[in-house]
A and B are shown apart, each in its own frame.
Chain A
């Protein structure tokens, strides 16, 4: 059927009227959503969806928000895992994993970066050797956000060392609950510990948990990354006006959030917290300082224009134009905005910018912003990598000469 805004509202309203109860059990409610296709309505009908166009999802979100209905679990890496499985997994894998991703019962992480290969993801040296019915995994991943409470990981590893590097990669679902996997949290410069080192010593992956075929790893990883860039910054879109509503289910959800979202509490800070700039500028009087005014205005102009650019890209897509470069452009804009915000927060704070803790500006929030912003231009692909992508794929400029062709075993490594 052809969805329209009216038909979405009608159907969803009657579903919510008949089923939504703020005192229901979180798991029961989410299973109900999944069975009815209202958890991920843009997914195919066969897999818990309703084949709805992306453009109508905001209508769905509005209806949920208006009655305060809890949604399926969508935070962190879980949706990247789900989208990857939808695009490249087989039916048995989708059957096994998709539902528990959406109920929130199982948590995922992304096992891509390694000590020797970050930007150069295809340079992975984690080994995958097929022995009988299992892939045996050896090696190390790093910067793995949420690995310390993950049940599964999206793993990129090498099965063939004698062919060019992009061709020798495979993609696996790694179960964390086994002896061959060890997780060590890493402390970050802002004091948090949301990412980890993950060591594999003869860790096992059943053959059935390989996604695609051997050699498809790179292509599948690109799907994951495409969704990651598209979602960049959306982690907190779920923030509903809580407190407007009461019920048992919100308590369950809050408990879950406390654990699952813990690694992400500082993410709005690394984006610069542009929202607190003007109020602070007024409170401190910095708004009357000509030099500060210039920098504040630069920040406002950047962030407004970036917002409008994202809306332009979305509108063009809804008109059926192909998806453009907005993922990389948006990510680069986000870095620029965060850096400018850090500059402005420093200007507004003066010497107070060196203070942290309860006694410092905004009870330590400014200090945490200043110490979190450096992550934004690294995580999810550095600014330099985004510039390479923009110049090559959007502007049609030429690639650099390569030094890493030929059999991977002969390529220079760290």
Chain B
């Protein structure tokens, strides 16, 4: 349970090799200035060459039928390579919403084209107000029609379909539900939002009397939203530990080459001990991220607590790695030309998406009863 299988190690290796070839930092820097923000050719290769469009999606919907563990391996490698693409928003978040909540007809209609990369989907969640807390969503759908504005929508600029999280205006308990909307609806307008992290695009999407279709049955339970958020947190946590590991490795490499006072700075304890502490923090965060992914795969009831552990640990480890990496590089670490800031910015955008550490730690204590019982 705590070791990767040979097949999983091979998957990691092939994704890593693909990204080394196709996601060079120089290419990423070019993409940061382009409007789409990602490379369609290398993105298509994920589906055609690597076959990872639907790692955890059942085979009947065109996926590979593997588990969240394999998905997490793919995400960790993408995080390591800082690969800019709508994979997380479409193939993970939107696909998860469909998998968790959609009816079998809806899954059959949408998942195959998402899995093959033909269609890009994204979840529209955050609202303008109360943007810090994930669950504070007030806007609602009435009469199959939605009017409202969603912010921080990942890859909104390229999405073919939006999965909107909004309340059900007709239901007396006013539950959170997911609703499908086509991006070509004339009532939809998307504006790019400026993000410090140009490797992950966000947009503000306004909906004006947009026709929407409810995801899932009217009568199904309301737990789907919480599960969706937890799945998303775990996916992000796994992506984040990959980025943190890259920062540590690049810092050690730099330290081994940089000479001051007639010796390598990597022989200085202030630098060495920082790196040792980072390694420990990153290893712990990896364990949290891996364990939570396993818990999803195994439908373990302690999973919600593990999701909070994973995201809080990844947030702290990635930000610490980012700050320390710049410090270890000295002045050059503060320049645009040095690559460290690209990962720093990804760390920052990931830290606040789907819950800060403070949010998850607070939530963990509410969930800990299950944790202590295992």
Binding site for B on A (CB under 8 A): 278, 287, 290, 293-294, 296-298, 300-302, 304-306, 308-309, 311-312, 314-316, 318-319, 329, 332-333, 336, 384, 386-388, 390-392, 394-401
Nearest Cβ distance between residue A102 and chain B, in whole angstroms?
A: 31
Chain A neighbourhood of B280, CB < 8 A: 329, 332-333, 336, 390
> What residue of chain A has the Cβ atom nearest to residue B360's Cβ?
A297
Q: Mark B248-278, 1 if CB is under 8 A from A, else 0.
A: 1000100110000001101111011101110
Chain B neighbourhood of A399, CB < 8 A: 267
Interface residues contributed by chain B, number (CB under 8 Å):
41
Q: Does B372 contact A (CB under 8 A)?
A: yes
Chain B neighbourhood of A395, CB < 8 A: 248, 252, 272, 275-276, 279
Nearest Cβ distance between residue B175 and chain A, in whole angstroms?
A: 28
* Leading 5 A-B pairs by shortest Cβ distance: A297-B361, A315-B3, A391-B272, A305-B284, A308-B287
- Structural contact, B290 and A400, CB atoms closer than 8 A: no
- Structural contact, B275 and A296, CB atoms closer than 8 A: no
Partner of B365, one of A293, A388, A397, A398: A293
Chain A neighbourhood of B313, CB < 8 A: 301, 305
**Bound Cα distance A388, B277 (Å):** 10
- Structural contact, A315 and B1, CB atoms closer than 8 A: yes
Q: Given the interface contacts A312-B3, A397-B266, A398-B267, does A297 sit within 8 Å of B364 by beta carbon?
A: yes
Chain A neighbourhood of B360, CB < 8 A: 297
Q: Given the interface contacts A308-B287, A391-B275, does A297 sit within 8 Å of B362 by beta carbon?
A: yes
**Bound Cα distance A398, B254 (Å):** 12
Nearest Cβ distance between residue A27 and chain B, in whole angstroms?
A: 39
**Bound Cα distance A394, B269 (Å):** 15
- Structural contact, B3 and A319, CB atoms closer than 8 A: yes
Q: Given the interface contacts A391-B276, A394-B279, A401-B263, does A304 sit within 8 Å of B3 by beta carbon?
A: no
Q: Does B94 contact A (CB under 8 A)?
A: no
Nearest Cβ distance between residue B182 and chain A, in whole angstroms?
A: 41
- Structural contact, A297 and B365, CB atoms closer than 8 A: yes
> What residue of chain B has the Cβ atom nearest to residue A394's Cβ?
B279
Partner of A298, one of B2, B263, B361: B361
Q: Does B352 contact A (CB under 8 A)?
A: no
- A-B contacts, 15 of them at CB < 8 A, read A300-B364, A304-B291, A306-B287, A308-B290, A308-B291, A311-B2, A312-B3, A312-B287, A384-B273, A388-B269, A390-B279, A394-B276, A394-B279, A398-B256, A400-B268
Chain A neighbourhood of B114, CB < 8 A: none
Q: Given the interface contacts A297-B362, A301-B364, A396-B252, does A390 sit within 8 Å of B276 by beta carbon?
A: yes
Q: Does B288 contact A (CB under 8 A)?
A: yes
Binding site for A on B (CB under 8 A): 1-3, 248, 252, 255-256, 263-264, 266-269, 271-273, 275-277, 279-280, 283-288, 290-291, 309, 312-313, 358, 360-362, 364-365, 368, 371-372
- Structural contact, B284 and A302, CB atoms closer than 8 A: yes
Chain B neighbourhood of A305, CB < 8 A: 284-285, 287-288, 291, 309, 313
**Bound Cα distance A281, B284 (Å):** 25
> What residue of chain B has the Cβ atom nearest to residue A312's Cβ?
B2
> What residue of chain B has the Cβ atom nearest to residue A302's Cβ?
B284
- Structural contact, A318 and B365, CB atoms closer than 8 A: no
- Structural contact, A387 and B277, CB atoms closer than 8 A: yes
**Bound Cα distance A316, B4 (Å):** 8
- Structural contact, B279 and A329, CB atoms closer than 8 A: yes
Q: Given the interface contacts A305-B285, A315-B3, A329-B279, does A297 sit within 8 Å of B291 by beta carbon?
A: no
> What residue of chain B has the Cβ atom nearest to residue A333's Cβ?
B280
Nearest Cβ distance between residue B123 and chain A, in whole angstroms?
A: 27
Q: Given the interface contacts A314-B2, A400-B267, A401-B267, does A309 sit within 8 Å of B279 by beta carbon?
A: no
Nearest Cβ distance between residue A33 and chain B, in whole angstroms?
A: 31
- Structural contact, A308 and B252, CB atoms closer than 8 A: no
**Bound Cα distance A302, B291 (Å):** 13
- Structural contact, B283 and A329, CB atoms closer than 8 A: yes
> What residue of chain B has the Cβ atom nearest to residue A305's Cβ?
B284
- Structural contact, B284 and A278, CB atoms closer than 8 A: no
Nearest Cβ distance between residue B55 and chain A, in whole angstroms?
A: 21
Chain A neighbourhood of B268, CB < 8 A: 400
**Bound Cα distance A136, B370 (Å):** 61
Chain A neighbourhood of B256, CB < 8 A: 396-398
Chain A neighbourhood of B285, CB < 8 A: 305
Nearest Cβ distance between residue B16 and chain A, in whole angstroms?
A: 18
Q: Given the interface contacts A300-B364, A305-B309, does A398 sit within 8 Å of B277 by beta carbon?
A: no
Chain A neighbourhood of B284, CB < 8 A: 302, 305-306, 309, 333
Chain B neighbourhood of A300, CB < 8 A: 309, 364-365, 368, 371
**Bound Cα distance A314, B272 (Å):** 26
Q: Given the interface contacts A300-B368, A308-B290, A329-B283, does A397 sit within 8 Å of B275 by beta carbon?
A: yes
**Bound Cα distance A392, B277 (Å):** 13
Known: A297-B361, A329-B279, A395-B248. 5 other contacts (CB 8 A): A305-B285, A332-B277, A391-B275, A397-B267, A398-B263
Chain B neighbourhood of A308, CB < 8 A: 2, 287-288, 290-291
**Bound Cα distance A309, B273 (Å):** 20
Q: Given the interface contacts A305-B287, A392-B272, A397-B266, does A316 sit within 8 Å of B3 by beta carbon?
A: yes
Partner of B312, one of A297, A316, A329, A386: A297
> What residue of chain B has the Cβ atom nearest to residue A386's Cβ?
B276
**Bound Cα distance A398, B361 (Å):** 37
Chain A neighbourhood of B312, CB < 8 A: 297, 301
**Bound Cα distance A290, B366 (Å):** 12
**Bound Cα distance A333, B277 (Å):** 9
Chain B neighbourhood of A301, CB < 8 A: 288, 309, 312-313, 361, 364
- Structural contact, A309 and B362, CB atoms closer than 8 A: no
**Bound Cα distance A28, B330 (Å):** 67
Q: Given the interface contacts A296-B365, A301-B312, A388-B269, does A332 sit within 8 Å of B276 by beta carbon?
A: yes
**Bound Cα distance A395, B277 (Å):** 11
Chain A neighbourhood of B273, CB < 8 A: 384, 387-388, 391
Nearest Cβ distance between residue B221 and chain A, in whole angstroms?
A: 28
- Structural contact, B365 and A287, CB atoms closer than 8 A: yes
Chain A neighbourhood of B291, CB < 8 A: 304-305, 308
**Bound Cα distance A137, B175 (Å):** 80
> What residue of chain B has the Cβ atom nearest to residue A308's Cβ?
B287
**Bound Cα distance A392, B313 (Å):** 25
**Bound Cα distance A312, B284 (Å):** 10
**Bound Cα distance A118, B271 (Å):** 23
**Bound Cα distance A396, B266 (Å):** 9
**Bound Cα distance A79, B294 (Å):** 36
**Bound Cα distance A274, B260 (Å):** 43
Nearest Cβ distance between residue B132 and chain A, in whole angstroms?
A: 15
**Bound Cα distance A329, B368 (Å):** 26
